[in-house]
Structure 1
Amino acid sequence: MLLFKLECKRLFSGAVNKLVLLLFLVAGIFAIYQGAQGYKTLRIDQYKSKIVFQKEREHVNKRETLPAAGSLAYYASAPTEWKLSPWAALFVGESHSSMVATKVRATALQSQIFNREIVNPAQQRTGGLDLGFVLVYLLPLVIGILTVTLISDEQHAGRWRMLNALPTSAFSQVAKQLALRFAVIWLLVILLLVSAAILLSLPFDGIFWTVIAATSLYMVFWFSIAALIMSFGKSSVFNSLTYLSSWVVFAMLLPSAVHLYLSNQYQTNAPLEISLKQRVTLNDGWDKDKQQTLDTFLQHESNWQDTAPLGEAFDWKWYYAQQHLSDVEVEQLWQQYRETNLMRQQSLQRLSALSPSLFFQLKLNQLANTSSADQADYRLQVAEYHQQIRHFFYDFMFFDKPVTKTDVENFPLFEAKTPAKGVDVWQLLISTLFILILVIVATLRLKQLRPI
């Protein structure tokens, strides 16, 4: 017990150690606050979209005469919602740079997805600090500062030979020092997660415990790296530089190399091509035979083949037929873009095994439903909802049915879905096995370390 008190006193006596722990705690608190504010803004945007649409629907129903179905379809911007987990407040992922409440009309879909400003620079938050950033990038630095010079400091102070002469081995003393530091940092992480869960009303469910387990495993990896570096018995400068180099490689260089490789491997200008091709198709459509356009449309949408031929006057049927045909024109590009993104995501999952930092970050984003795969699922849901809206209005436009107030009330609303996710057991087992091997190697080397 006396030795434990002495180790605690030694850990917290140094100004650097106390400052590092304090900065880590402050950074975590600030990250929780900033993430919570960003998540609150996203949720407010989603809520506002629903309220505005409801007010617009009430305004339409108060009119004595309802507009034509084509006019309603043109102005009815129905809100959608990216179903984010409450944990998105802590692990932002892709949600900070993408639309999370896209409004959809019955007009051409792809121009609504791509031909818009994705991010308003005036509304963009400075930086990207969230709790995920603190855990992925700052946590390893804290571990390194508190641990990597333990043995070299003992050697420099002349106590290493004395520790080896004690009945209990020097390895046992070092192991206790590492365990104490692991416990202190782990408790700080738990404090941050529990505080965030309480402040943000996050459930203490499977995600909570999965985050704790993943963070603990991530800490074991970096403690093993520190122990392995210490086992060479070099100076404090050498140990610090080697650990910092390891952090740069695993947390910076490897993830950057992976993303650079994927960007070159799956480079695509599909969004620009889709927007341009669809715009050209829509513009050219005004110069084509309108009845022929409608006939071509009915070949794709056979449910409305019983519609009457077009007359000389402007007809909404032709307008929306042209809009849909522009989507058909870019359908292949859209599918290729989706397939390319899917292959990129699969490659990213495989290559993330090269970097524990990248792997850990991806898993946190997946738990919060803020990964690039979740973004792709949301876009697919928007496309499916767009089809519901089109078909809802087609019944009125193609069969000359008047829109009633009951029909306005029965307008289909977007139902956000959270895609089912499976756990890549093999990847998790391989990662755990790799860390276990690293722990064993570091332990064996520390046991063999002798006084200089």
Structure 2
Amino acid sequence: MNLFAIEMKLFWANRLNKWLLLTYLVAGVVAISLSQVTYERELEHYQLAETFYQNEIEHYQEQFDKQQLQLGYMGYYLFHPVAQLPQAWSALFRGQRDESANHLRVRLLGLQSQVNANALGNTDAQRFGQFDLSFLWLYLMPLLIGAMTINLLADEKSSGRWPMLVAQVSKGTQLIFRKMAVPALMVLTVNVTLLVLATWMTSVTIDSSWLAVLLQVVLYQLCWWLICGWIVFLNKEASFNYLSLISIWLVFTFIVPGMAYLYQIQQQEAGKDAAIVFEQRQYMNDSWDKDKKADFEAYLAKFPQWTPTAPLGDEFDWRWYYGQQQMSDVVVSDLVEKRYQSQLASHQQGQAFSWFSPVMTMQYSFNRLANSDMLANVDFNQQVAEYQQSLRDFFWSFYFFDTAFEKTDFADIPSFNYQPDNAAFIWQGSLKLLLLSLVFGVLLWRKVSAFHER
């Protein structure tokens, strides 16, 4: 029997190793199952919203048949559903989906008041968090690797077996690396098994993204394996090893991300969303007391494509009302653009901090792949703005040009079609993990060299 087979037999003889791996595997299956349930529930909610919308359309069609349809009221009361549909990887990596509104209903009023007046995501999920596969890999995998490797040398020395073991091999370091390789291989096997199970249990398919995720998991595991190896070759007692691992884990999982969060908060101006809503609504409230004909002329000057329209009379006119609603968006457009730029800057700041934490690096990569990060939310809001503009162009053609609305026009009402940003920066994250692994690889090599000299 070769030496590696002996180490494998010794590994499985340890009952704690069996329970740790089994618990890790079961936790992974539970995480995948819970995430898939959440994913399917999201799709069901979106389908319910779409069904309700179609029922509303049928109601207005019935009014049209009875010659009771008032197009201005239809534009005001008809809510159009828009949703940031979850992608396949969203079932495994929830990211920030529960921290932002990804399902709205918009109508032909000021858009920013509608967007910012909605609840920001699932408050219950924000309170308790989501147990998904990324949580298992990011936070629990390092602890599992450490639990099975961190005290290999310390335990052998404390039991008095180390001198006898060293006498049977040419180099003690080879024995340590062989002992560390076995649990690393077992953890990698379980991780690959979980990824295969996730492919079977969800809509994830094996493609270039799947391979990229596998690569990143391997690099992440390698990084923590090198960290554990470095601690092992510090040649300290078990208590020191545990304290060192927990300290490093806390720095990478809480301290660096916490510092990044505090820095991002300080760089942002609090209350900007409320200021956008206030200014937009204040503009609309003030419009009722102004010269409506002058405001209407100002609107036509801003949007000349609607100029060939009848003059505004003394009675209430939907053209003026909807024009002012659009102008209220124009008034706050600079604030909206600043908010977008602030969000993008915040994301870039987080990416900069991720160079100092493999946990942040992997999290940013997974969130980008699953289209569940801040960039996805910014892109979704911009798509919603473009969609509402298409609604305006559709209804305005009837309001401003006095065109008769026919029953066949119901089918031409624009519908929202979310287009995810498929640009995944997971390869950039892989490069960061590789560089971090090299850093700890160099530290490990130096300690191994010092260990040889003893």
So what's the TM-score if we normalise by structure 1? 0.95
Contact 1:107 1:323 in 2 (8 A): yes
> Unaligned stretches of 5+ in structure 1?
none
Look up the match of 2:84.
82
Contact 1:66 1:403 in 2 (8 A): no
Residues of 2 paired with 1:368 and 1:22: CA distance? 27
Give the RMSD, CA atoms, in angstroms. 2.0
Residues of 2 paired with 1:48 and 1:179: CA distance? 51
1:340 aligns with 2:342: yes
31-40 vs 142-151, which moves further: 31-40
Q: Relative contact order, CA 8 A, sep 6+: which one is greater?
A: 1
Match runs of 1:332-411 below 5 Å: 332-411=334-413
Residues of 2 paired with 1:380 and 1:11: CA distance? 54
1:106 aligns with 2:131: no
Aligned-pair distance for 1:262?
1.1
Q: Read off the aligned partner of 2:95 and give its amino acid letter.
A: G
Q: Read off the aligned partner of 2:408 and give its amino acid letter.
A: T
Residues of 1 paired with 2:395 and 2:55: CA distance? 20
56-65 vs 369-378, which moves further: 56-65
Aligned to 1:102, what secondary structure does the other structure show?
strand
Look up the match of 2:226.
224
Q: 1:423 to 1:350 in 2, by over 3 A?
A: same
Residues of 1 paired with 2:142 and 2:276: CA distance? 43
Look up the match of 1:93.
95
Aligned to 1:4, what secondary structure does the other structure show?
helix
Q: 1:356 to 1:13 in 2, by over 3 A?
A: same
Look up the match of 1:321.
323
Deviation per CA, 1:152-210: give whole Å up to 9, x if none: 01111112222322243211111111111111001111111111110113211111111
Contact 1:46 1:100 in 2 (8 A): no
Aligned-pair distance for 1:396?
0.6
Q: Read off the aligned partner of 2:401 and give its amino acid letter.
A: F
Aligned-pair distance for 1:313?
1.8
> Unaligned stretches of 5+ in structure 2?
none
Aligned-pair distance for 1:134?
0.7
Contact 1:171 1:447 in 2 (8 A): no
Contact 1:31 1:131 in 2 (8 A): yes
Look up the match of 2:32.
32
Q: Read off the aligned partner of 1:12 and give its amino acid letter.
A: W
Aligned-pair distance for 1:114?
0.1
Deviation per CA, 1:57-90: give whole Å up to 9, x if none: 2332233125232212112211222143211011
Aligned to 1:107, what secondary structure does the other structure show?
coil
Q: Read off the aligned partner of 2:135 and give its amino acid letter.
A: F
Aligned to 1:103, what secondary structure does the other structure show?
strand
Q: Read off the aligned partner of 1:245 and give its amino acid letter.
A: S
Match runs of 1:304-315 below 5 Å: 304-315=306-317
Q: 1:126 to 1:254 in 2, by over 3 A?
A: closer
Aligned-pair distance for 1:20?
2.2
Identity of aligned residues (%): 33
Residues of 2 paired with 1:120 and 1:141: CA distance? 29
Q: Read off the aligned partner of 1:421 and give its amino acid letter.
A: A
Contact 2:365 2:424 in 1 (8 A): no
Look up the match of 2:235.
233
133-142 vs 45-54, which moves further: 45-54
Look up the match of 1:284.
286
Look up the match of 1:213.
215
Aligned-pair distance for 1:415?
1.7
Q: 1:196 to 1:279 in 2, by over 3 A?
A: same
- Number of aligned residue pairs: 452
Q: Read off the aligned partner of 1:76 and give its amino acid letter.
A: L
Deviation per CA, 1:73-115: give whole Å up to 9, x if none: 1122112221432110110011123232222211110011001
Match runs of 1:421-432 below 5 Å: 421=423, 423=425, 428-432=430-434
1:142 aligns with 2:144: yes
Q: 1:131 to 1:123 in 2, by over 3 A?
A: closer
Look up the match of 1:253.
255
Q: 1:204 to 1:420 in 2, by over 3 A?
A: closer
Aligned to 1:79, what secondary structure does the other structure show?
strand
So what's the TM-score if we normalise by structure 2? 0.94
